[in-house]
Structure 1
Amino acid sequence: MRMRVIRGDITKLAVDAIVNAANTSLLGGGGVDGAIHRAAGPELVQECRTLNGCRVGEAKITAGYRLPARHVIHTVGPVWQGGGKGEPALLASCYRRSLELAVTNDCRTVAFPAISTGVYRYPKFEAARVAVGTVASFLDEDSTLSDVVFACFDEETAALHHAAIDALRLSSGAFDD
């Protein structure tokens, strides 16, 4: 099992599934959501129309179409409202539900963006801690996934994910960062 951080464009990764930080409509938007929809082509939005949206903290899966990834797992992160409205639990649910869908659909490699840290304003350091902690817990319980990538758009986000991994004091050899 491996968990690692890269700085780069999630739409270019040849993994079994990439995770889309989507909105509840699943019909595309800004940030990583818009980039994934543009790269995947119009077939993605056509399939998303059949899914009847997605609730915050949940996830749904589609084909990857023109992406190098076989699948796109769409998850809707919480809008940051100060941390007292269940945001950490909802964000953790995004990661957990996405990983569960990946395993159910025979994926071994998955890439995540920094969910909710853009226009949803989740503090990047806190989001990285939730992401890394949730993924690490899942990997401890399920050995199906061989590679989980945190695909960070910028150096700051990548550094925060590295710091979150370091803070977990993971056993040597269990994870690559």
Structure 2
Amino acid sequence: MRLMEPLGVDLEVIEVSALKRWADFPTQHRFSDYSRALGNAAQYSASPFPCQPLLNNKIALWTGDLTSLRVDAIVNSTNETMDDNSPVCQRIFHRAGPGLTKEIYNEIKECKTGEVKTTQGHNLPARFIIHTVGPVYNIKYQTAAENTLHCCYRNILQKARELGLRSVALPVVNSVRRSYPPEAGAHIALRTVRRFLEQYSESFGCVIFVLDPRDLEVYQLLLPLYFPRTMAEEDDACWQLPSDVGGIDGEPQLPDRQIRIIDNPQHTLHAKSRKNSGGQWHATKIVGNLPEIA
């Protein structure tokens, strides 16, 4: 089926049923002996994300045009004033038509980082647009960025569930334009979606990761860790998953990182000696009154 854009150009509409599900992608077993490749002990004795075929059938990958998908909702990753100039955001506004701009101006106005706002889909095949604002990444505030990104994905899915939406198209919320490392963002996205589907699988028919070719490569590499399709992938995940796999909702669990203030002239850097448990003296760098965290 085709719709017509305002300029009279045909817009192909892609149905959810036409999308390839994660369960249908070929499996890849990269190493036959992780004990030799990565050490003598696996990170986990059992994977925190066991194989669940039902969940794998709810995940789809799409590398085409987000605005061509006939879904209940597509996600627009934007900025706080909702006028981001990214190509995807601009395409959403162009294809949705002037009604979207008017609705945002009159009713929405802004969206804070980590939150979501919902508008009608207007001229898009999608019924709704869920807008969210991803974090700016800075290594000094890494924990805050991780928590905010988790909130973006969690709030998107929660809003969709509240509205009774069965299919959601998710682009990559963590933007390279905002300095967020693609692989680190993918870990948060995948585990957050996985945990949400574990709790509310009956609420969704399909969650679609909409990816460009570069992100597709990252997601195909990491998806088997969070959505294993075979026991071999589940076993491999015990070696490959990071130490932080999130809490019950996929939220980051690492302790807050203290910020280095070495360059601040108001703080002095000096060495303080202390004894360790073996009776040996060694120096610890002190920044102001706080030990520096390596």
User: Residue 165 of structure 2 is aligned with which of 97, 107, 129?
Assistant: 107
What is the deviation of 1:117?
2.0
Structure 2, unpaired ranges of 5+? 1-54, 231-294
What is the deviation of 1:84?
2.1
CA distance in 1, matches of 2:60, 2:192: 14
RMSD: 1.5
User: Does the residue aligned with 2:62 lie in a helix, a strand or coil?
Assistant: strand
What is the deviation of 1:85?
5.1
Counterpart in 2 of 1:158?
Answer: 216
What is the deviation of 1:96?
0.6
Alignment: residue pair count:
171
Counterpart in 2 of 1:74?
Answer: 131
Counterpart in 1 of 2:73?
Answer: 17
- Higher mean C-alpha deviation, range 76-85 or range 121-130: 76-85
**1:27/1:152 Cα in 2 relative to 1: closer, same or farther (>3 Å)?**
same
CA distance in 2, matches of 1:66, 1:28: 19
Within 5 A, what are the aligned runs for 1:41-80?
41-49=97-105, 50-80=107-137
Give deviations 1:15-38, integer Å, cap 9, x for gaps.
Answer: 100000011012343232112111
User: Does the residue aligned with 1:21 lie in a helix, a strand or coil?
Assistant: strand
Contact 1:5-1:162 within 8 A present in 2 as well: no
User: Does the residue aligned with 2:147 lie in a helix, a strand or coil?
Assistant: helix
Q: In the alignment, residue 150 of structure 1 is paired with which amino acid?
A: F
Higher normalized contact order (CA 8 Å, seq sep 6+, divided by chain length): 1
Structure 1, unpaired ranges of 5+? 173-177
**1:169/1:105 Cα in 2 relative to 1: closer, same or farther (>3 Å)?**
closer
CA distance in 1, matches of 2:207, 2:221: 16
CA distance in 2, matches of 1:150, 1:98: 13
User: Does the residue aligned with 2:103 lie in a helix, a strand or coil?
Assistant: helix
- Higher mean C-alpha deviation, range 60-69 or range 113-122: 113-122
User: Residue 146 of structure 1 is aligned with which of 180, 186, 205?
Assistant: 205
Of structures 1 and 2, the larger Rg is shown by 2
Contact 2:194-2:227 within 8 A present in 1 as well: no
Give deviations 1:70-125, integer Å, cap 9, x for gaps.
Answer: 00000000011125251111011101101111111121000011112242121111
Give deviations 1:126-172, integer Å, cap 9, x for gaps.
Answer: 1111111111110001120110000012x120121122211225355
Q: In the alignment, residue 141 of structure 1 is paired with which amino acid?
A: Q
User: Does the residue aligned with 2:70 lie in a helix, a strand or coil?
Assistant: coil
CA distance in 1, matches of 2:143, 2:98: 35
**1:118/1:43 Cα in 2 relative to 1: closer, same or farther (>3 Å)?**
farther
Counterpart in 1 of 2:147?
Answer: 89
What is the deviation of 1:61?
0.6
User: Residue 39 of structure 1 is aligned with which of 75, 80, 95?
Assistant: 95
Q: In the alignment, residue 90 of structure 2 is paired with which amino acid?
A: G
Counterpart in 2 of 1:175?
Answer: none
Q: TM-score under structure 2 normalisation? A: 0.55
**1:149/1:63 Cα in 2 relative to 1: closer, same or farther (>3 Å)?**
same
Q: TM-score under structure 1 normalisation? A: 0.90
